[in-house]
Amino acid sequence: MRVTCEVVGEETHDVEVEADATYGDLLEAVGLSTQEASVLVDGNPVPEDRPVDTDSVRVLRLIKGG
């Protein structure tokens, strides 16, 4: 499944994930962890263990830098 991930204020990624992928897997595919970012579907946050069920998401980084 191909998903477009817009990381807010950064880049947009086209990611290929397995059919049974979760939103946590999607974050991992763009190089982020569930502790530093949240996935938004239609403007609403979704749980990391929910299966991916859309082809476009926004990723909001909660932590940046070190």
Domain residue limits, the chain:
2-61
pLDDT the model gives residue 65: 65
pTM: 0.89
pLDDT in tens, the chain (66 residues): 999 999 999 999 999 999 999 999 999 999 999 999 999 999 999 999 999 999 999 999 997 765
- Backbone torsions φ then ψ of 24, nearest 5 degrees: -65, -40
pLDDT the model gives residue 10: 93
| Fold of the domain spanning 2-61 | Ubiquitin-like (UB roll) (3.10.20)
